[in-house]
A and B are shown apart, each in its own frame.
Chain A
Amino acid sequence: MWRFLARTIVQRLLLLVVISIVSHTVIHLAPGEPSEVDAMNPMMKAEDVARIRKSFHLDEPIYLQYVHWVKDLATGELKSFRDGLPVVPKIWQRFLNSLPLFLCTTVIVWTASFPIGIHAALKRGSRYDRSTTFVAYTLISIPGFFLSYVLILWVVRIFQLPVIGLATFGTERANGAVRVMDRVWHLAIPSIMSALTGIAVLSRYVRAQMLEVLGQDYVRTARAKGLDEDHVVYGHALRNALLPFVTMFGLLLPGLISGSVIFEQVFAWPGLGLLGYEAILARDFPVILTLNFVAAALTLFGILLSDILYALVDPRIRLQ
């Protein structure tokens, strides 16, 4: 098994390099340069534009630009086009903001989906099952930002409560408990909104997987042995039904970036998603590239994690 793992890791690293090259190429091939962002600014003289281009190596051939990027990233020298500040600390800072939102969302999604999905599978065809099915489909179909805005509208209008941002403006000087409560409150709404679609999708998978497993022959055997229904469902069936979800767990990681773009925009949450969005608007190549790279790295790491977890949990794989 360890050889298998080592080989996988090497493959993934290679893949990461390939992805970074492809991202780099794609971004540079697209029209639009940072120096053009302020093109309408009458204060920008031709020499300024030329100077910007030179300092960001924009005149050099594309592979050299790639080398520059890698070098700068590795040495921590990589600077943003927009404001000249180092990229890596900026990303780290935003990462720390995104992390609580991500963790909170993930926890909500995974703790809510399983009971809902299992219950729906056990009571297939009942009113509970049919109504949760319908609600799930609706949640999947609703554009996330739409629901969020509707909720914001409602909360602000009816409850007169602030919802946007990390904390309420003006609470910096309040005492500890108030600040904590405020932060928690501001975290709750975006997490729940983010989590709703996730719950809808995951609980459907859980239900489908449980139904599939409950129809298997070994469940019939378990009943024929005289086990009571709880043992059959939670001891025999669930253990099998959970296997694919272990792998899904690892694949959640990339959601840290891509999932959050919309919600961070809606709730003005200064995290990685918002950083990416602003960078795109400003054609800030280093930031965009690095974020893409980080996202790809997270994906690959997530896949690796999934492979490991799956190998640990499924005896059929473990014993190869």
Chain B
Amino acid sequence: MSESAAEPLLSIRDLRVEFETDAAAVAAVRGIDVSIAAGETVALVGESGSGKSVTAMSVMRLTEGRIAAGSIQFQGRDLAHVPEAEMRSIRGGQIGMIFQEPMTSLNPVFSIGQQIEEVLRLHQQLSAPAARTQALELLQRVGISAPARRIAQYPHELSGGMKQRVMLAMAIACRPRLLIADEPTTALDVTIQAQIMELLRSLQREFGMAVLLITHDLGVVAHFAERVLVMYAGKIVEQGSVRDVFKRASHPYTQALLAALPDPQNPRKRLAAIPGRVPSPAMLPPGCAFCARCAHAFEPCPVRQPPLFAVGEGHHAACFLRE
């Protein structure tokens, strides 16, 4: 478990999220713990299907799955169990979220001004002129030039990068304590990616927000996150500071991920792929989920699920090798 000096802002304990299928309930998230301190940037990394997006959506209670077990402590309330009306005031107000596809995340029939003002008027009860002024300031802050002209424009008139800036503006409009960014740059060009991430960082510093960054891009993690949690098949397999995890990767999966990155120093080196496939959540083995693909699997692996073992200060790996 990660220590924080003060009470963490967000504390997820033993979260389990299930989806109903024709056969039985399938668990996408199988008991994970996540702690985020105020102002901290935490990255949640994994392949598609690892359960990272489901975790993020669960914090906002926007997932179609059911929170079967666990708690999500935020500012003294358990988000997994608060009434819907309270959850609505938290969404957009205390916790903001931006998504992966900026191209389709804005309503095409409302101007961007209307959409930003909507969230301001909802959570802060501002009057129309006050909301308009705030919206203009926000557009300015997220780096959109000529905000007075842009504010009346419709989403289809903006580029992908600009749309993502607008999404950010909406998400931070009410100065949330926590921003959840679900793959914010995956759908953008590389140069725009860097700009958006820099913007995110400067906004975070200015408002003192914590950021939960969901991504599969290890480069983004290295540049922007302080701590990282690696997820595989619905469980956290390694967690720690970015430095620790990257330099001293202790779980075979993390090691394999890092090894699979192309080496810019040695362009001719063969790419090391991880053999096998991520198992389907409906057909998980009883033991460690990574066992079948692991080069170091030994006798306890297929039988029992490994808990998180400490491998350093604030650094844990869920592997029997580290027992």
Contact = CB atoms under 8 A, between A and B. Distances in A.
Contacts of A316: 108, 154, 156
B130 interface: no
A221 B99 contact: yes
A217 B89 contact: no
Contact of A225 (B92, B108, B154, B157): B92
A239 interface: yes
Interface in B218-239: none
A243 B118 CA distance: 22
8 contacts: A217-B104, A217-B105, A218-B107, A221-B106, A223-B91, A224-B60, A227-B92, A239-B109
Contacts, number: 70
Contact of A228 (B88, B93, B171): B88
Nearest to B155: A218
Interface string B97-122: 10101001111111100000011001
Contacts of B111: 315
Interface residues of A, number: 20
Interface residues of B, number: 30
B13 interface: no
Contacts of B157: 319
B107 A240 contact: yes
A227 B60 CA distance: 13
Given A224-B97, A227-B122, 16 more contacts: A218-B106, A220-B105, A221-B106, A221-B107, A221-B167, A224-B92, A224-B96, A225-B119, A226-B92, A226-B93, A226-B122, A227-B118, A236-B110, A239-B107, A315-B109, A316-B108
Nearest to B116: A225
B118 A225 contact: yes
B306 to A, nearest CB: 35
A216 interface: yes
B89 A240 contact: no
Contact of A218 (B62, B108, B122): B108
A314 interface: yes
Interface in A228-275: 228, 236, 239-240, 243
A211 to B, nearest CB: 14
A105 B88 CA distance: 42
A48 B119 CA distance: 82
Given A240-B107, A315-B109, A225 B170 contact: yes
A309 interface: no
A216 B122 contact: no
B68 interface: no
A294 interface: no
Contact of A226 (B91, B106, B167): B91
Nearest to A216: B104
A236 B88 CA distance: 16
B197 interface: no
Nearest to B103: A217
A217 B99 contact: yes
A183 to B, nearest CB: 42
Interface of A: 216-218, 220-228, 236, 239-240, 243, 314-316, 319
Nearest to A240: B109
B90 interface: yes
A222 B62 CA distance: 11
Interface of B: 60, 62, 88-93, 96-97, 99, 101, 104-111, 118-119, 122-123, 154, 156-157, 167, 170-171
B104 A226 contact: no
A124 to B, nearest CB: 12
Contacts of A227: 88, 92, 118, 122
A314 to B, nearest CB: 7
Contacts of B110: 236, 239
A220 B92 CA distance: 12
A226 B89 contact: yes
B91 A225 contact: yes
A228 B122 CA distance: 10
B174 to A, nearest CB: 9
B62 A224 contact: yes
Contacts of B88: 226-228
Given A217-B99, A225-B170, A226-B91, A319 B154 contact: yes
Contacts of A314: 109
A224 B92 CA distance: 6
A222 B91 contact: no
Contacts of A315: 108-109, 111, 154, 156
B122 A225 contact: yes
B47 to A, nearest CB: 22
Contacts of A221: 99, 105-107, 167, 170
A222 B97 CA distance: 11
A291 B126 CA distance: 59
Contact of A223 (B62, B109, B170): B62
Instruction: Count chain A CB atoms within 10 A of each CB in B101, B109, B157 and give the residue with the most.
Output: B109
